[in-house]
Structure 1
Amino acid sequence: MSTDNDGFGVAIHEGTRFLVAGGLPGEVLVARVTYVGRRETFANALKTLKASPDRETAPACMPGRMCDGCPLIQMRYPAQLAWKKELVTREMRKFPSLAEATIRDTIASPKQINYRNTAKLVIAGKNSDPVIGIYRRNTHDVMEIDSCALHHPLINKVVKATKIGIKKGKVPVYNPKSEMGLLRYLVVRVAEQSNKVMVVFVTSEQGYNEIHHLAKYVQQEVPEVAVVAQNINASTGNVIFGHKDRFITKERTLRAFVGDKSFHLSPHSFFQVNSGAAQIIYEKVREFAKLTGKERVIDVYCGIGGISLYLADQASEVVGIEFVEAAVADATENAALNHAENCSFEAGDAVHLIDEIGEEGGADLIVLNPPRKGCEEKVLKSVANIKPARIIYVSCSPDTLSRDLDILSRLGYRTVEVQPVDMFPQTVHVEDVALLERVK
């Protein structure tokens, strides 16, 4: 048995490929078949007859292998770190251009459980018996998550209080099939240093009265809740947020920290879910940057300005680029909050803005931190046209990272090293920071 990129144990039995949730290489298991496909059969491990030395004897969560959220929770933590390095190495070595790049050992997360400061959960069922959780893989069935081992304990408290509040207030729960009901999603965000919480109730329509009473109940049960907002999403798709927000509390933002930098978080702000690991990533970017105070830096896909602010102290100028206008507004506010006067942010198309900056004197360093799908090739070409001495690429997908590094190799950039960081313990996800240098 081996393990695939999704954390399933892979076994071949009578010519059929079995993907076993909860199975580790070298084990002998009793498993129950859950789904028979044309090419693969899925199963859940029921009993371990011969255990791997990498098996965790007391996992933080017993339902872990039934829930898709934590496929590695049955694996000891050092083995998880080694598994993630192997995953990254496998993806990188698919490309001859990356054969000589150094792949470092995975840096551990400061916390292995209770590290998630944000949760976006689906609300389903009826108001007499609500279910709050996540969709099971490839289904619209919602699996209850009321005490997740990955969530900050305050998130779990808010989930439990919300369930009781829905029952008490008889708040109508939205049904996507009938498109009837009010309450659709629960979004919870924790600012760890202040121990304050933001709660966002996503609803299909206004329903002010029910949400006001629900908010009051949750605040009464969890006094750490400082911000409550209602977001109205009347669309029928599965996008969580709509465009309209209404605040139930006077407070509208949380103040969160990564290292010595502080950030104002609004309901829509993208913020790293593991603050401790985010700090490791930002510090690694700063280390790779080797700034002397004279450099001009472009931070592409800058979000609310985390990496920009980490580099501002050591750069002459930092320009952040982001497509989402609300994120640029947050980033500008965060620069003011941290007195980073050499930081500016622009909203718009990345290619257009990079080309414009190139014409205005270029940059010495470009940081890329795209979403999971990676960069479009035209973005990479625009970056290479500026000819920065260094590129630093931060990625949450080894697959799209290796593809883009290979493209950059043909545009004159050599990947020197890749540093995996465990942003998401117990899961198959891994964040990477890659350093590229221009070939003279």
Structure 2
Amino acid sequence: MKKPPHKQIQPTAVTPQGPKKGDLLELVVRDLTDEGFGIAHHESRQILLSGALPGEVVRARVTFAGRRDIYAQVLTTVQRSPERLAPAPCPRSNRCDGCPLIFWQYQRQVAWKKSLVEREIRRYTSLRGATIHDVIPSPKTLGYRNSAKLVLAGTFREPIVGIYRRNSHDVLDISDCPLHHPLINEVIKAVKEGIRKGKVPIFSPRTGTGLLRYLVVRIAERHNRAMVVLVTVERNFNEIHHLAKFIRQAVPEVTVVAQNVNASEGNLILGSQDHFLTKDHAIIEELGNISFSISPRSFFQVNSGGARIIYEKVREWSALTGNETAFDLYCGIGGISLFLAGSCRNVYGIEVVDAAVADAEYNARLNGVENCSFDAGDAAELIDDLLDDGIKPQLVVLNPPRKGCDRQVLEHVAAAAPERIIYVSCSPMTLARDLDILAGFGYRTSAIQPVDMFPQTPHVEDIALLTRDADSAKMLSQKPVATPARKSPNKRKRGR
């Protein structure tokens, strides 16, 4: 017998400008945005849906209606995609924006991420000859996050530890997030219990009162050790010391506890002052045979298994013989530099953040590596300084933040004329832009390897291999490529 059609929701009356906050709508999902939101349309307006897949029919409530963007939350799925997991690994999957793909089959996630990379790369004629490999999956699809930066809200009687909901100041509790390393969730549970027992006041942005603002947890997976940073609005000697003691008793794997003071009104999580409540000030993580010291401010990839894949792929594509000189730009705490050090003559790491350079130097000593040196400063200027000293690279590695490289940096890299460039990026869009610029300087992108560093989210990491086109480089050498960099008056001395 033919089933009767499903009952339609009668949508709330809307203004000529489109749906309003609170409206109930029935929508057909056509596609996904780069951020993993379902795309639907209503009265010629685009609606972005958290928790929806292409081809699905959903009933949703509008949660935000702005002039440009309208967001809605899925209430029920009328027609489900066959690619949807049932049940999803997380009970909050239809309410949390932190991992919008968690209800999607993993093989479909990685295929979709490859399509994102292909779309951005193929926009440029200069890149259409590049081979785009299939995405390398993450070794772990759940429980892979080795760090978490979380907001504290509520009261000491009912503390909330979580993340902000999109377009609001409401905090969604994610105490048992399936993406977290299990030890992070144990720490969160202990922190909440310690707050209750110690009656530790939680900061309220509305009233400006309270003490605790944020919780930062970092994990060293190899040895199952944890670091806890309690971010407060002022220095505190009583409640925080008791809370730190409770956390360590409840979770013995916690070997480092620090209080960070941040009284600013902005969204910056860490302030400028750290006060350690334990003898140890860092945890040690290992990737392969390389050890890394991680402090409260150290940058370290959130997926240790994925980071190792990237570092090893960079080393493989570098094709080093032991006689080369490499420049590692945006080197952070020296991860790629240390992975390359055993295969080349010298590595010169460049990073704008002084604290990261100090970490990189310490990590080199920790591993007994003597052929790496690190500088803090402007990348373009420091490249020129190295060239002026007669140091010419055969390999340059670029690993910039999401915004990509400044054009001046790319000009100076091209002027250094390395045989190979390897570009590591967390943004397919800025990667494609910068590869096209480098193509204009005589560098051909031969291959791109996507790596899934962030399962259940729309983010994807990419590694690109570029080689110097001899004919193009010869033409470019007949005209200046880069404008001379202004010398820094406080240039830091190279080496340790």
Shorter-chain TM range is over 0.9
Preserved contact between residue 35 and residue 43 of structure 1 (Cα < 8 Å): yes
Counterpart in 2 of 1:418?
448
Task: Give the TM-score taking structure 2 as reference length.
Answer: 0.86
Counterpart in 2 of 1:268?
297
Q: What is the CA–CA distance in structure 1 between the aligned matches of 2:248 and 2:308, rounded to whole Å?
A: 30
Q: How does 1:366-377 map to 2 (within 5 A)?
A: 366-377=396-407
Counterpart in 1 of 2:111?
82
Counterpart in 2 of 1:175?
204
Counterpart in 2 of 1:45?
74
CA deviation map 1:242-292 (0-9, x unaligned): 111111111111010112211111111111110000000001101110000
Deviation at 1:32, TM superposition (A): 2.7
SS across alignment from 2:92:
helix
Counterpart in 2 of 1:431?
461
> CA-atom RMSD, angstroms?
1.3
Counterpart in 2 of 1:324?
353
Counterpart in 2 of 1:36?
65
Moved more, 310-319 or 54-63: 54-63
Question: Number of residue pairs matched?
Answer: 440
Deviation at 1:225, TM superposition (A): 0.6
SS across alignment from 1:115:
coil
Counterpart in 1 of 2:439?
409
Q: Which amino acid aligns with 1:325?
A: D
Preserved contact between residue 65 and residue 73 of structure 1 (Cα < 8 Å): no
Q: Which amino acid aligns with 1:318?
A: V
SS across alignment from 1:311:
helix
Counterpart in 2 of 1:284?
313
Which of 206, 212, 216 is matched with 2:241 structurally? 212
Q: What is the CA–CA distance in structure 2 between the aligned matches of 1:14 and 1:175, rounded to whole Å?
A: 40
Which of 171, 195, 201 is matched with 2:230 structurally? 201
SS across alignment from 1:227:
strand
Q: What is the CA–CA distance in structure 1 between the aligned matches of 2:267 and 2:48, rounded to whole Å?
A: 28
Preserved contact between residue 64 and residue 167 of structure 2 (Cα < 8 Å): no
Deviation at 1:39, TM superposition (A): 4.5
Deviation at 1:175, TM superposition (A): 2.1
Deviation at 1:213, TM superposition (A): 0.3
Preserved contact between residue 141 and residue 455 of structure 2 (Cα < 8 Å): yes
Preserved contact between residue 320 and residue 345 of structure 1 (Cα < 8 Å): yes
- The yes-or-no answer on 1:388 pairing with 2:418 is yes
SS across alignment from 2:215:
strand
Which of 216, 223, 229 is matched with 2:258 structurally? 229
Preserved contact between residue 295 and residue 316 of structure 1 (Cα < 8 Å): yes
Moved more, 48-57 or 91-100: 48-57
Q: What is the CA–CA distance in structure 2 between the aligned matches of 1:94 and 1:65, rounded to whole Å?
A: 33
Deviation at 1:50, TM superposition (A): 2.6
Counterpart in 2 of 1:92?
121
Q: What is the CA–CA distance in structure 2 between the aligned matches of 1:288 and 1:153, rounded to whole Å?
A: 34
Preserved contact between residue 417 and residue 436 of structure 1 (Cα < 8 Å): yes
CA deviation map 1:122-156 (0-9, x unaligned): 11222222211111112222111100010001101
Moved more, 60-69 or 7-16: 7-16
Q: Which of 1 and 2 has greater Rg?
A: 2
Moved more, 35-44 or 267-276: 35-44
Q: What is the CA–CA distance in structure 2 between the aligned matches of 1:230 and 1:40, rounded to whole Å?
A: 39
Runs of 5+ unmatched residues, structure 2: 1-29, 471-496
Preserved contact between residue 147 and residue 302 of structure 2 (Cα < 8 Å): yes
Deviation at 1:438, TM superposition (A): 1.2
Q: Which amino acid aligns with 1:268?
A: R
Deviation at 1:336, TM superposition (A): 1.2
Preserved contact between residue 11 and residue 17 of structure 1 (Cα < 8 Å): yes
Q: What is the CA–CA distance in structure 2 between the aligned matches of 1:277 and 1:5, rounded to whole Å?
A: 21
Q: Which amino acid aligns with 2:440?
A: R
Q: Percent identity?
A: 59
Deviation at 1:40, TM superposition (A): 4.3
Q: Which amino acid aligns with 1:176?
A: P
SS across alignment from 1:91:
helix
Runs of 5+ unmatched residues, structure 1: none
Q: What is the CA–CA distance in structure 1 between the aligned matches of 2:230 and 2:110, rounded to whole Å?
A: 36
Preserved contact between residue 332 and residue 356 of structure 2 (Cα < 8 Å): yes
Moved more, 32-41 or 374-383: 32-41
Preserved contact between residue 179 and residue 236 of structure 1 (Cα < 8 Å): no
Q: Which amino acid aligns with 1:332?
A: E
Deviation at 1:163, TM superposition (A): 1.1
Deviation at 1:14, TM superposition (A): 4.1
Counterpart in 1 of 2:493?
none
Q: What is the CA–CA distance in structure 1 between the aligned matches of 2:463 and 2:351, rounded to whole Å?
A: 19
Q: What is the CA–CA distance in structure 2 between the aligned matches of 1:114 and 1:156, rounded to whole Å?
A: 10
Q: Which amino acid aligns with 1:89?
A: E
CA deviation map 1:136-191 (0-9, x unaligned): 11222211110001000110111111111112111121223433321111100111
Counterpart in 2 of 1:344?
373
Deviation at 1:26, TM superposition (A): 1.7
Q: What is the CA–CA distance in structure 1 between the aligned matches of 2:211 and 2:55, rounded to whole Å?
A: 49
SS across alignment from 1:64:
coil
Deviation at 1:51, TM superposition (A): 2.2
- The yes-or-no answer on 1:299 pairing with 2:300 is no
- The yes-or-no answer on 1:65 pairing with 2:101 is no
Preserved contact between residue 254 and residue 264 of structure 1 (Cα < 8 Å): yes
Q: Which amino acid aligns with 1:350?
A: A
SS across alignment from 2:238:
helix
Q: How does 1:113-124 map to 2 (within 5 A)?
A: 113-124=142-153
Q: What is the CA–CA distance in structure 1 between the aligned matches of 2:199 and 2:406, rounded to whole Å?
A: 47
Counterpart in 1 of 2:282?
253
